[in-house]
């Protein structure tokens, strides 16, 4: 399965949920916003939203500063 994450191509052997994707990327789901194909996914749907071949995923993390 081929996807783009933050503009970078990535390959995975099996389909994944958003939660599983975050685990594979060693990212915490507590402080991220996820968009799949320009649709924001609420954290309550991370475990039920499946990533499909050729999806474009944006993972946004807060950046402290002022």
**Burial category of 57 from C-beta neighbours within 10 Å (exposed 0-12, middle 13-18, buried 19 and up):** buried
Domain ranges of the chain: 2-60
CATH architecture observed for domain 2-60: Roll (3.10)
Neighbours of 35 (CB within 10 A): 13
Distances (CA, A) of 36 to 22, 24, 42, 65, 66: 13, 17, 11, 27, 28
Single pTM value for the model = 0.87
pLDDT tens for residues 29-60? 778 999 999 999 999 999 999 999 999 999 99
């Amino acid at each position: 399965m081929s996807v783009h994450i933050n503009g970078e191509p990535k390959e995975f052997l099996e389909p994944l949920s958003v939660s599983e994707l975050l685990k594979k990327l060693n990212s915490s789901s507590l402080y991220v916003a996820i968009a799949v194909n320009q649709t924001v996914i609420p954290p309550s749907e991370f475990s039920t939203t499946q990533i499909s071949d050729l999806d474009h995923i944006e993972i946004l993390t807060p950046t402290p500063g002022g």
